[in-house]
């Protein structure tokens, strides 16, 4: 009964989404206040019914209702309740429902916080969000219904993929989706602007906090995914350039370009149509990412052949959203004129380069991700593009980008780099290079060109970031939230760069065969296998090893890697044993029984790896602080007055 | 700076960026493409001998031989028409098992054996890698991985 209520709620949500778009867009076009109000009410109703549907699916999982196909496919009676709830978004159908719920929540938030926008514009934004909702709900109801019954009911479920039975991966999809879907708001703002054919500083000011919020969720989501891959996939890598990862990284790159371009549009009224195009791209890439990962197209292009309806719907939906937005853009964007100049060393120039480098990296990653799919679809052979390609094409634009960040932050709008700032930056650059050489030589006993460049850029970005609040405090200037956010985010980027350089330059990995009592040496740490024992979990059995790590005779820690076999059957799972440290991680993963009492183990020394994720968290924190900047919360009148003053003052 | 010069600067920057990116991509792309071959194609001599590629198929039942107590392993990959012996030293993915699909990265040795430097586990327990499924002419599973 409950699943039918969920199904029915989904149908009602679809009808309300239709009402939301028709009344909002129609009301805005005709200037009818009543219709626009009806559109806003529909948002609330839609959100409620999607939540009811989602609740019904959660209920089915918690109650182990194996008469629902999706529940039977993705959970098991032995699965702990926490993972049964997380299993809701463990596969395609439930992910779409979660996506819909995120979209409904964002729509509700936009409706609630946009009272100061002029009514027709607000309604157009709501109407476009409604159109996206229609697409998703129609997709679910016609091809991917999570409430489909299984007749007769299964006695037992198949279980959630054991890889997904983990904390980080239970929170990873919802956070990632909040990011993906958040770009829908920027997209809706961009389309509404194009419909109205005018763009002012208030538009950019309105879009910025929403975009920042979406981007910060996406940042956290990607970092969680990377962290999970590191400890749960079992082999200690933190980024594989897998299409699944690229699918979330590409919208992030577009979103990063967007928040920087928005800054220019807000402060200086420049890059207007480019900003709109980025807003459209960021959301289009989010849609592409969702479908790439969840539709099965990555597993096989020909998977669509088994379920053509799904493939055709996805292609149609992508075409409608992306094509529609681009046609609107081509039609209306020429009306938006930017009329202002700027100096070659002004902040505008640096932000322009930021966009060029980010988009270059994005384009090359997109090529590497989609090319194998096209080749396969056209029957031109099966290929894959290896990580060395992605590493090269990502690194080459990122190195100059990191170098320019430090200067760009200190450049003034319009006028360019001031003399005093120039001297300060030269001192920082010199110190960063010297410190990088020292770290390489003293910390790791070696000086290598790429490592030195990496460390120097990391320190450069961090030091130039800190120099901003220091300089402001010295000059007794206030530090607004937006400036603090920028500084923390860039500092975080430097920290991530530091971590990546450290781990990629100096990691040591060794596969060894050890019997109890044997030891192996990895980067002057001794890993000794001291015991093997059987363990029993709630829904698995396994073997656990004790690996005592010592350095120069001093014991440091004992690692407990496990090999698990889940009761629902299938393949074994590797749970790594990791000792976390500020300077390095020590990592042991248990392989197989090799005979003669020996087991295979992968032992690793991972210097500075924690800073990759710590930096990402700071990047997200910076985004959050910037989004909460006071100027976004002033009333409409104050905003209009402020627009005049900030345009003339030396802006942060 | 006048608007025209500004536009010139912007256009130059973008053109230079795109040109650099394209050159880079062309150079990096060709070197890093990994082609996939099944054992029949390898036997027919279609696979390259001078560069790495991927091989895939089923691990033949009873073909896995370990050198006791070491990381050395030898197994046979088959597409039920032809078979190729594969040598590997290292940790195997959790999903490696006799009678299941496998993909290995590596190159052909002079003796016609495949020397793998990586054995892949990109598939979950419910299906085999799509390349393998298609080279065996099995229906491709529709269920996504994560």
A221 CB-near residues (< 8 Å, 6+ apart): A172, A173, A175, A176, A177, A178, A179, A248
**pTM score:** 0.90
| Selected residue with higher pLDDT from A297 and B67 | B67
CB-based contact B124:B95 (threshold 8 Å) = yes
CA–CA–CA angle A25, A132, A9 (5° rounding): 100
Q: Find, in chain B, the residue whose alpha carbon is nearest to that of A566.
A: B125
pLDDT tens digits, A195-248: 988 777 778 888 999 999 999 999 999 999 999 889 887 677 899 888 888 999
Burial of residue A410 (number of CB atoms within 10 Å: 0-12, 13-18, 19+) = buried
Instruction: With CB atoms and an 8 Å threshold, state whether B144 touches A296.
Output: yes
Residues of A whose CB is below 8 A from B24: 364, 392-393, 396
Position A461 scores a pLDDT of 97
| Selected residue with higher pLDDT from A83 and B121 | A83
Position B110 scores a pLDDT of 86
Q: Compute the average pLDDT of residues A590-609.
A: 90
Residues of A whose CB is below 8 A from B36: 381-384
- Computed over every residue of chain B, the mean pLDDT equals 78
- Which pairs count as long-range contacts for A382-387, CB under 8 Å and 24+ apart, including other chains? A382/B35, A382/B36, A382/B131, A383/B33, A383/B34, A383/B35, A383/B36, A384/B33, A384/B34, A384/B36, A384/B54, A385/B29, A385/B32, A385/B33, A385/B34, A386/B32, A386/B33, A386/B34, A387/A240, A387/A241, A387/B32
Q: Is residue A641 scored above 70 in pLDDT? A: no
The position carrying tokens 């995120």 is: A102
The Cα A475–Cα A424 span in angstroms is: 15
The Cα A48–Cα B95 span in angstroms is: 42
β-bridge partners, A600: A513
Global ipTM: 0.78
A395 CB-near residues (< 8 Å, 6+ apart): none
Which of these, A39, A45, A36, A35, lies nearest to A14 by C-alpha position? A45
CA distances from A383 to A79, A380, A505, B56 (A): 38, 9, 29, 12
Candidates B9, B71, B131, B138: best to mutate against A (most CBs of A within 10 A) is B71
The Cα B106–Cα A383 span in angstroms is: 14
Q: How far apart are the first and last CA of chain A?
A: 58
Q: Is residue A650 scored above 60 in pLDDT? A: no
Instruction: With CB atoms and an 8 Å threshold, state whether A294 touches B144.
Output: yes
Residues of B whose CB is below 8 A from A345: none
Position B134 scores a pLDDT of 63
Position B49 scores a pLDDT of 85
Instruction: With CB atoms and an 8 Å threshold, state whether B144 touches A293.
Output: yes
Task: Report which DSSP code applies to B112.
Answer: S
pLDDT tens digits, A256-267: 999 999 999 888
% chain A with pLDDT above 90: 60
Containing A536, the helix (H) or strand (E) segment is: strand A525-536
Task: Dump strand ranges (E) for A386-518.
Answer: 508-515
Q: Which two tokens stand for residue B122?
A: 């990109």
Position A635 scores a pLDDT of 47
Residues of B whose CB is below 8 A from A510: none
Residues of A whose CB is below 8 A from B70: 513, 594, 598
Task: Report which DSSP code applies to B98.
Answer: T
pLDDT tens digits, A467-512: 999 999 999 999 999 999 999 999 999 999 999 999 999 999 999 9
| 3-class SS of residue A132 | helix
The verdict on B111 touching A (C-beta cutoff 8 Å) is: no
Q: Which two tokens stand for residue B144?
A: 């996504």
Which of these, A327, A323, A325, A320, lies nearest to A135 by C-alpha position? A320
| Virtual torsion, Cα B128, B131, B136, B139, nearest 10 deg | 60
Position B124 scores a pLDDT of 47
Q: Is residue B71 scored above 60 in pLDDT? A: yes
pLDDT tens digits, A511-567: 999 999 999 999 889 999 999 999 998 888 999 999 999 999 899 999 999 998 888
Q: Find, in chain A, the residue whose alpha carbon is nearest to that of B56.
A: A382
Cα-atom radius of gyration of chain B, to the nearest Å? 22
Q: Find, in chain B, the residue whose alpha carbon is nearest to that of A351.
A: B10
The position carrying tokens 């992910």 is: A95
Instruction: With CB atoms and an 8 Å threshold, state whether B36 touches A574.
Output: no
A355 CB-near residues (< 8 Å, 6+ apart): A257, A260, A261, A271, A274, A278
Q: What is the DSSP track for A183-214? A: HHHHHHHHHHHHHHT---HHHHHHHHHHHHHH
Candidates A343, A594, A595, A603: best to mutate against B (most CBs of B within 10 A) is A594
Position A416 scores a pLDDT of 72
- Count CB pairs under 8 A between chains A and B: 158
Q: Is residue A414 scored above 90 in pLDDT? A: no
CA B46, B52, B53, B57 torsion: positive or negative? positive
The model's confidence at residue A97, banded by pLDDT at 50, 70 and 90, is: very high
Which of these, A604, A617, A618, lies nearest to A237 by C-alpha position? A604
What's the half-sphere exposure (Cβ side, CA atoms, 13 Å) at A474?
6
The model's confidence at residue A339, banded by pLDDT at 50, 70 and 90, is: low
Using CB atoms, pick whichever of B90, B91, B94 lies closest to residue A572.
Answer: B94
Q: What is the DSSP track for A212-244? A: HHHHHHHHHHHHHHHHHHHHHSSS--S----HH
Position A588 scores a pLDDT of 94
CA distances from A325 to A20, A190, A269 (A): 19, 9, 22
pLDDT tens digits, B10-55: 778 778 877 877 787 777 787 788 888 888 889 888 888 888 888 8
- Computed over every residue of chain A, the mean pLDDT equals 88
Which of these, A234, A235, A102, A107, lies nearest to A175 by C-alpha position? A102
pLDDT tens digits, A567-587: 876 668 888 999 999 999 999
Using CB atoms, pick whichever of A384, A393, A598 lies closest to residue B69.
Answer: A598
Q: Compute the average pLDDT of residues A187-191.
A: 94
Position A651 scores a pLDDT of 39
Q: Which two tokens stand for residue A114?
A: 């946009």
A64 CB-near residues (< 8 Å, 6+ apart): A71, A75, A77, A84, A157
Using CB atoms, pick whichever of A356, A397, A511 lies closest to residue B13.
Answer: A356
The position carrying tokens 């090269």 is: A392
The Cα B62–Cα B80 span in angstroms is: 14
> Which residues 29-88 in chain B show a CB within 8 A of chain A?
29, 31-36, 54, 66, 68-71
Residues of A whose CB is below 8 A from B28: 388-389, 392-393
Instruction: With CB atoms and an 8 Å threshold, state whether B34 touches A384.
Output: yes
pLDDT tens digits, A122-178: 999 999 999 999 999 999 999 889 999 988 888 888 878 777 788 888 899 899 999
| Virtual torsion, Cα B122, B126, B130, B133, nearest 10 deg | 130
B55 CB-near residues (< 8 Å, 6+ apart): B36, B37, B38, B39, B42, B47, B77, B84, B86, B103, B104, B106, B114, B116
Position A163 scores a pLDDT of 73
The Cα A21–Cα A36 span in angstroms is: 10
Residues of B whose CB is below 8 A from A349: 9
Position A596 scores a pLDDT of 84
Q: Find, in chain B, the residue whose alpha carbon is nearest to that of A225.
A: B146
Tell me how close the Cα of A647 comes to any Cα of chain B, in angstroms: 18
Q: Find, in chain A, the residue whose alpha carbon is nearest to that of B67.
A: A594
Instruction: With CB atoms and an 8 Å threshold, state whether B25 touches A393.
Output: yes
| 3-class SS of residue A481 | helix
Residues of B whose CB is below 8 A from A307: 142
**A63-77, A338-352, A423-437, B60-74: lowest mean pLDDT where?**
A338-352
The model's confidence at residue A413, banded by pLDDT at 50, 70 and 90, is: confident
| Virtual torsion, Cα A313, A314, A315, A316, nearest 10 deg | 50
Which of these, A57, A177, A392, A18, lies nearest to B23 by C-alpha position? A392
pLDDT tens digits, A268-304: 888 888 999 999 999 999 998 888 877 666 655 554 4
Instruction: With CB atoms and an 8 Å threshold, state whether A571 touches B14.
Output: no
Q: Find, in chain B, the residue whose alpha carbon is nearest to that of A380.
A: B35
Q: Is residue B144 scored above 70 in pLDDT? A: no
Length of chain B: 146
What's the half-sphere exposure (Cβ side, CA atoms, 13 Å) at A370?
13
Kindly report the number of other CB atoms within 10 A of residue A392's CB atom: 17
Q: Compute the average pLDDT of residues B111-127.
A: 72
Tell me how close the Cα of B111 comes to any Cα of chain A, in angstroms: 25
Instruction: With CB atoms and an 8 Å threshold, state whether B133 touches A300.
Output: yes
Containing B57, the helix (H) or strand (E) segment is: strand B53-59
């Amino acid at each position: 009964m409950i699943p039918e209520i969920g199904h029915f709620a989904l149908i009602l949500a679809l009808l309300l989404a239709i009402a939301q778009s028709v009344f909002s867009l129609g009301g805005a076009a005709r200037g009818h206040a009543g219709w626009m109000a009806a559109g806003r009410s529909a948002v609330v109703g839609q959100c409620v019914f999607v939540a009811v549907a989602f609740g019904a699916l959660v209920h089915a999982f918690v109650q182990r209702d194996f008469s629902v196909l999706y529940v039977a496919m993705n959970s098991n009676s032995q699965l702990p309740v926490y993972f049964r709830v997380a299993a809701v978004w463990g596969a395609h159908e439930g992910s779409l429902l979660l996506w819909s719920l995120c979209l409904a929540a964002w729509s509700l938030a936009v409706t609630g916080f946009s009272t100061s926008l002029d009514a027709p514009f607000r309604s157009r934004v709501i109407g476009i969000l409604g159109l996206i909702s229609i697409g998703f709900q129609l997709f679910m109801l016609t091809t991917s219904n999570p409430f489909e019954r299984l007749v007769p009911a299964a006695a037992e479920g198949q279980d959630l993929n054991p890889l997904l039975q983990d904390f980080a991966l239970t929170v990873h999809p919802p956070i990632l989706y909040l990011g993906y879907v958040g770009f829908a708001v920027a997209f809706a703002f961009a389309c509404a602007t194009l419909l109205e054919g005018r763009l002012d500083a208030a538009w950019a000011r309105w879009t910025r906090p929403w975009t920042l919020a979406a981007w910060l969720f996406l940042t956290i989501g990607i970092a969680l995914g990377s962290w999970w891959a590191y400890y749960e996939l079992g082999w200690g890598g933190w980024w594989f350039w897998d299409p699944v990862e690229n699918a979330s990284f590409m919208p992030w790159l577009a979103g990063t370009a967007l928040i920087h371009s928005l800054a220019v549009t807000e402060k200086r009224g420049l890059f207007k149509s480019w900003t709109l195009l980025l807003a459209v791209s960021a959301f289009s890439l989010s849609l592409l990412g969702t479908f790439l990962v969840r539709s099965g197209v990555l597993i096989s292009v020909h998977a669509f052949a088994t379920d053509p309806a799904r493939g055709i719907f996805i292609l149609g939906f992508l075409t409608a959203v992306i094509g529609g937005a681009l046609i609107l853009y081509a039609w209306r964007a020429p009306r938006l004129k930017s009329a202002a100049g700027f100096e070659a060393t002004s902040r505008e120039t640096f932000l322009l380069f930021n966009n060029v480098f980010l988009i270059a990296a994005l384009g090359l990653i997109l090529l590497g991700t989609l090319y194998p799919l096209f080749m396969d679809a056209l029957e031109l052979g099966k290929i894959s593009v290896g990580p060395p390609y992605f590493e090269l094409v990502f690194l080459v634009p990122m190195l100059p980008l990191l170098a320019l960040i430090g200067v760009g932050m200190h450049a003034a709008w319009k006028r360019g780099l001031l003399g005093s700032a120039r001297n300060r930056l030269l001192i920082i650059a010199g110190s960063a290079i010297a410190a990088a050489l020292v770290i390489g030589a003293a910390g790791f006993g070696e000086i290598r060109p790429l490592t030195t460049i990496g460390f120097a850029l990391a320190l450069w970005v961090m030091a130039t970031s800190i120099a901003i609040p220091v300089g402001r405090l010295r000059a007794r200037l206030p530090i607004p939230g937006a400036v603090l956010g920028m500084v923390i985010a860039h500092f975080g980027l430097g920290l991530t760069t530091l971590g990546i350089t450290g781990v990629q330059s100096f990691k040591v990995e060794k596969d060894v065969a050890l019997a109890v009592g044997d030891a192996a040496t990895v980067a002057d740490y001794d890993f000794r296998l001291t015991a093997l024992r059987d363990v029993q979990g709630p829904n698995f059995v396994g073997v656990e090893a004790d690996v005592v790590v010592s350095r120069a005779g001093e014991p440091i820690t004992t690692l407990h890697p496990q090999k698990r076999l889940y009761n629902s059957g299938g393949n074994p799972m590797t749970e790594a044993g990791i000792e976390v440290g500020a300077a390095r991680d020590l990592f042991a993963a248990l392989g197989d029984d090799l005979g003669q009492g020996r087991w295979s183990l992968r032992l690793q020394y991972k210097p500075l790896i924690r800073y990759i994720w710590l930096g990402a968290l700071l990047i997200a924190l910076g985004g959050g602080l910037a989004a909460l900047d006071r100027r976004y919360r002033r009333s409409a009148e104050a905003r209009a007055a402020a627009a005049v003053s900030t345009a003339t003052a030396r802006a942060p | 700076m006048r608007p025209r010069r500004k536009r010139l600067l912007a256009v130059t920057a973008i053109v230079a960026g795109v040109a650099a990116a394209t050159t880079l991509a062309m150079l990096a792309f060709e070197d890093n493409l990994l082609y996939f071959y099944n054992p029949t194609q390898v036997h027919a001599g279609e696979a390259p001998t001078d560069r790495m590629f991927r091989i895939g198929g089923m691990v033949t039942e009873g073909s896995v031989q370990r050198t006791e107590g070491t990381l050395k392993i030898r197994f046979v990959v088959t597409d039920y028409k032809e078979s190729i012996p594969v040598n590997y030293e290292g940790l195997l993915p959790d999903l490696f098992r006799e009678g299941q699909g496998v993909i290995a990265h590596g190159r052909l040795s002079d003796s016609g054996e495949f020397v793998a430097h990586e054995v892949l586990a990109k598939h979950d327990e419910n299906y085999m890698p799509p390349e393998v499924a298609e080279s065996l002419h099995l229906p491709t599973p529709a269920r996504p991985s994560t």
